[in-house]
């Protein structure tokens, strides 16, 4: 148990001499953002995800089969927007690749603008779940999550992908001592799972008991804070800033 807690603490408060420096806690913040945004998209925009593309592929199959409550157009729109966002994020990552801090900062600037725009659309229209507003929100948030995932891929912080938890949970079990592995990094991976859970919980509570657009406001605030922190990191010349 001590090793698990130590691993979790090292993820939340990392040693600056670590190969990934201060990146892990920022990636955890982005994981919380994912939970908030997907809570909004699923609960407000209907059965569609803007960060979990596996879900959208499955939902597309449901829609084609005629299952009630699923929209092929919405799922395909989310997939397309995410892909374009990943393209934009990839260009940012490749352009700033000599410095991981700059990759993070530029991606966060772009993502913050997109999520803020989505919040404004949701707040101004008053009916984000229907009509053109719904698709505008799917596009804006799909773009934002695509940018985030491309940046996370470029930064390549182990076990902190900010979106996909399937491999994280698999690693906890498959790499464990019980499975004959070297150890499942349970502390680090559990923190990632808890961050996603916290974002989803907060997003759902906000939608159900606050306002439909509230999760996007929370996400924007977290992204703005992350952008400010990342700006300070762009000036670092420590070893963690170099590409892997």
- Supply φ then ψ for residue 217, to 5 degrees: -65, -45
CB of 93 closer than 8 Å to CB of 211: no
- Report the sign of the C-alpha dihedral through residues 45, 83, 112, 136, in that order: negative
In angstroms, rounded to a whole number, what is the distance separating the alpha carbons of residues 149 and 161? 7
Task: Tell me the per-residue pLDDT of 95-114, one tens digit each, with 9 for 90 and over.
Answer: 988 899 999 999 999 999 99
CB 172 within 8 A of CB 5: no
pLDDT of residue 243: 87
What does the pLDDT read at residue 84?
Answer: 98
pLDDT value at position 170? 85
DSSP assigned state of 239: G
- Residues of the chain with confidence (pLDDT) below 70: 1-2, 184
Task: Find the angle CA(210)-CA(213)-CA(215) to the nearest 5 degrees.
Answer: 75
Quote the CA–CA distance of 96 and 111 in Å, as a whole number: 16
Average pLDDT, the chain: 93
pTM of the model: 0.94
Residue with tokens 């502390």: 187
Q: Where are the domains of the chain?
A: 2-11+20-233
């Amino acid at each position: 148990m001590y090793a698990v807690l130590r691993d979790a603490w090292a993820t939340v408060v990392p040693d600056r001499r670590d190969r990934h420096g201060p990146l892990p806690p920022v990636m955890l913040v982005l994981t919380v953002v994912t939970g908030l945004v997907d809570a909004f998209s699923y609960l407000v925009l209907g059965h569609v995800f803007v960060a979990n593309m596996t879900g959208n592929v499955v939902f597309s199959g449901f829609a084609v089969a005629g299952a009630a409550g699923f929209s092929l157009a919405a799922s395909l729109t989310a997939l397309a927007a995410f892909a374009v966002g990943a393209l934009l994020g990839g260009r940012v990552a490749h352009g700033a690749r000599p410095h991981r801090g700059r990759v993070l900062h530029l991606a966060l600037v772009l993502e913050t603008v997109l999520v803020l725009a989505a919040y404004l659309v949701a707040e101004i229209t008053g009916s984000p779940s229907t009509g053109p507003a719904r698709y505008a929100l799917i596009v804006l948030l799909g773009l934002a999550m695509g940018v985030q995932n491309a940046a996370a891929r470029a930064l390549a912080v182990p076990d902190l992908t900010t979106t996909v938890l399937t491999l994280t949970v698999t690693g906890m079990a498959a790499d464990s001592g019980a499975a004959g592995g070297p150890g499942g990094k349970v502390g680090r991976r559990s923190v990632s799972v808890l961050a996603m859970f916290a974002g989803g919980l907060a997003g759902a509570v906000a939608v159900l008991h606050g306002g439909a657009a509230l999760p996007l406001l929370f996400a924007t605030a977290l992204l703005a804070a992350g952008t400010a922190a990342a700006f300070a990191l762009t000036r670092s010349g420590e070893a963690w800033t170099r590409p892997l």
